[in-house]
Structure 1
């Protein structure tokens, strides 16, 4: 069984709780150790302050008889400190005096300050020699009852654990609330993203209302929706254009075939009918091939060969090809400049041929079509301009769209030009890493191509 993944809000709440627990526990342990050290210092000071008085009361005691004689004075001194007890032992360790009258463990086994527990009572024991200047001196063990100190430390430890637990719980609850409040913009983004469909691609996230951390993400999401909306609109228009372009030749084929079959005809009439159908089918096949070419370009499948090309020679060959059409239309062709680049000969010829064909079709009689070549250190610039009607500024951005015509009434239903030439040209230029744009003003239309050398 696969465990459910923990939500981001739960993770943040647990993280807050863990951090608070660690901080609280660390602070509690440090405070507890500081308290123990403080009590130890206080006990040391108290025992050090009592030691001179007891040494004075037991001065020169070297036998149990002498100690017995001074016992009343010793008891009187001990009565001033109810929490203090005293044990006196001989140099050989035998017990001479014990104010507690209890069977405590051998306290003389440890010298200096130490802690011992007996019968649910805690003592701070301090064992020193009675006479510092004598090697064989009786020993004194001062016993300070610190049970109340230990009870305080135990209560503090319980309080620490209780504080840690309550802090962790409170922080987890507050962290869950804070995380839920902080992640509300993410939930809003999820709801908006879930509501996006093909019919609501215009939906946008209110990035101005987003936190700074999510503003960039929301802007990127809005940009993605914008690209999707544009692509969807283009795809819808493309589908409609395909249907529109194919409808006319298919209708022509269907009508022509139906008319041909209405009555028996001789061989020559059937031949003419088939030739007419063949022309329409050839145009349809060419359009399908062009569409496949554009699809390959959009998916980055055009891989141009790289060879050194003299653009002047390539341009002159194309101008020679179009010269009969230009002479028939009374249009003058020219080429200026030279340039060299590495590119695919056939692809670049196709791109330039499309531009020249387009320029010739829209250049009036006695007009001109000029090709200008310029070369710099890093780039080659190709300009193809023609005289003729100025293209409206609002139409310029769409010239390279598939099936787009600046004059919709022009070539309506024509099987000669489907509006794919400029789109194919743009895909070829982009596959070479270049750019193409169009300018049209004062009766001159100019296509500018820039390609890397």
Structure 2
């Protein structure tokens, strides 16, 4: 069991969008760092000043060795060094001096002052040196990339031309220094490339990670109030999968709410249409046909009965609508449930006698709650009145009692021995306009005598449920066909007097 739990936590961790995004970004950053570091290292090696200087000197020495061999052969054959076939660059300078520093051969632009400087360096025995050639008038200036004249700054190597270990001449070879890129520019260039690569990688990762969000957004834009059956069904274990599941659950709740609203509107329209039709028919009959006073009186009584029925429906709907929008405020105070129960039983005794029902009470101990006496009374009246009406014709007794469960809850039980309710109807009893037996709905043809308005409006239990929940309690129903029904309301107690022994009883069982 622990292993399964650890495995579940491990899979949940690795399937998290945050973890996967972090790992993906680490991979992208690692690639960027490798490329950045390798490129920076290569650039630093390539553009390093010491490396560039060493490469330049090596090239000069190679040129000097080749030229020295050629000049040595020409001088040994007593030929003019100027006739030597030299394959030199246009910016390369060559100066060949004899033992007295007289010029034997020259290549490149060398003004007199520069030749004098080189002759002085030869006399001083320097092997390698720097030389700056002054710019002559009319000569094109070549500027380096970093702001100084590159082609006039030369690196020169002075080497002797030997014949059998005897110096026969001195060779001076020089090449212009190349512009070296500063380290700051290298860092700046690679930094910009790194940031650009990070931005591109981050944009790609963000687009990949937010792909489910785009799908949810597209689905949300396509869904309207008339089509709430569509679902995302994203089988993902990450945060987006949780978001999609929550979105699907929200759509399910909205779909159910719209269905309930549509059904509620249809039921309310049906409930109001019937009495309105009856009133219209009776009034037309009264106006178009001759009647005596007694017949007119009967018509007016029927119209009045239907008007009372419509008024009850409208008032109940208004109460529930205001309750749904939170516009009703309970006037809470200390209330004794036993007093309210006795008052409700006394008020409904005439109705019970009218329906030949025995309305009896059991134990009614003092139970104090913090509630609104008006709405609590209405809750009790609805439960007891429903029990009386639906017990008529198939049962004989309605029983009301109070008890306490532990020291926290007060219990109201209203039990009858009527026809009972089958299990298939129990989950819908508190829905608005729901009736177990449609044949027992409001019937205007029996609007007087013992059968007067047996069915009610179908809103009483919905009001009971709202009142109980508004007081922090709950209502429960148990029923067996042919044996009766028990409604049990549980409300939080304010306190139980010390003289009252708490009656902690289990749910009532039918005998």
Distance 1:166 1:254, change over 3 A: same
Report the Cα offset of residue 314 of structure 1: 1.4
Report the Cα offset of residue 146 of structure 1: 12
- Unaligned runs of 5+ residues in structure 1 are 1-14, 44-70, 86-99, 104-116, 124-144
Report the Cα offset of residue 214 of structure 1: 0.9
**Does 1:445 find its partner at 2:482?**
no
Distance 1:441 1:34, change over 3 A: farther
TM-score by length of 2: 0.59
Distance 1:101 1:310, change over 3 A: closer
Match for residue 295 of structure 1 among 321, 324, 341: 321
Cα deviation digits, residues 31-83 of structure 1 (max 9, x gap) = 699989x9789x9xxxxxxxxxxxxxxxxxxxxxxxxxxx98972xx42xx3x
CA distance in 1 between partners of 2:150 and 2:215 (Å): 66
Alignment match, 1:393: 423
CA distance in 1 between partners of 2:274 and 2:197 (Å): 75
Match for residue 228 of structure 2 among 201, 208, 212: 201
Report the Cα offset of residue 421 of structure 1: 0.6
Report the Cα offset of residue 323 of structure 1: 2.5
- On the 8 A contact 2:275/2:310 being kept in 1, the answer is yes
Distance 1:101 1:259, change over 3 A: closer
Distance 1:190 1:321, change over 3 A: same
Cα deviation digits, residues 103-145 of structure 1 (max 9, x gap) = 9xxxxxxxxxxxxx9977899xxxxxxxxxxxxxxxxxxxxx9
Match for residue 248 of structure 1 among 274, 278, 281: 274
**Does 1:183 find its partner at 2:210?**
yes
- On the 8 A contact 1:339/1:375 being kept in 2, the answer is no
Report the Cα offset of residue 342 of structure 1: 1.2
Report the Cα offset of residue 419 of structure 1: 0.7
Report the Cα offset of residue 166 of structure 1: 4.7
Q: Secondary structure at the match of 1:409?
A: helix
- On the 8 A contact 1:201/1:225 being kept in 2, the answer is yes
Alignment map for 1:255-270 (pairs within 5 Å): 255-270=281-296
Size of the alignment, in residue pairs?
358
- Unaligned runs of 5+ residues in structure 2 are 1-24, 54-120, 135-147, 155-174, 448-452, 495-511
CA distance in 2 between partners of 1:146 and 1:438 (Å): 104
Alignment map for 1:79-228 (pairs within 5 Å): 79=127, 82=128, 151=180, 153-154=181-182, 157-158=185-186, 161=189, 163-208=190-235, 210=236, 212-228=238-254
Match for residue 362 of structure 2 among 328, 335, 343: 335
Distance 1:279 1:25, change over 3 A: same
Distance 1:217 1:401, change over 3 A: same
CA distance in 1 between partners of 2:325 and 2:461 (Å): 18
- On the 8 A contact 2:337/2:368 being kept in 1, the answer is yes
Q: Secondary structure at the match of 1:190?
A: helix
CA distance in 2 between partners of 1:321 and 1:277 (Å): 26
Report the Cα offset of residue 341 of structure 1: 0.7
Alignment match, 1:349: 377
Distance 1:146 1:322, change over 3 A: farther
- On the 8 A contact 1:343/1:432 being kept in 2, the answer is yes
Distance 1:378 1:325, change over 3 A: same
CA distance in 2 between partners of 1:430 and 1:119 (Å): 92
**Does 1:359 find its partner at 2:399?**
no
Alignment match, 2:347: 321
Q: Secondary structure at the match of 2:404?
A: strand
- On the 8 A contact 1:359/1:386 being kept in 2, the answer is yes
Alignment match, 1:435: 474
Query: How well do the aligned residues superpose, as a CA RMSD in angstroms?
Result: 4.3
CA distance in 2 between partners of 1:313 and 1:223 (Å): 45
CA distance in 1 between partners of 2:470 and 2:49 (Å): 83
CA distance in 1 between partners of 2:149 and 2:306 (Å): 114
CA distance in 2 between partners of 1:223 and 1:418 (Å): 32
CA distance in 2 between partners of 1:203 and 1:300 (Å): 31
Cα deviation digits, residues 189-221 of structure 1 (max 9, x gap) = 12221221233211111131x461212211221
Q: Secondary structure at the match of 1:394?
A: coil
Alignment match, 2:94: none
Mean CA deviation greater in 284-293 or 380-389 = 380-389
**Does 1:305 find its partner at 2:345?**
no
CA distance in 1 between partners of 2:350 and 2:220 (Å): 59
- On the 8 A contact 1:307/1:342 being kept in 2, the answer is yes
Cα deviation digits, residues 420-445 of structure 1 (max 9, x gap) = 11011111112222222222237242
Distance 1:181 1:226, change over 3 A: same
- On the 8 A contact 1:297/1:431 being kept in 2, the answer is no
- On the 8 A contact 2:338/2:402 being kept in 1, the answer is no
Distance 1:72 1:146, change over 3 A: closer
Report the Cα offset of residue 319 of structure 1: 1.5
Match for residue 265 of structure 2 among 239, 256, 259: 239
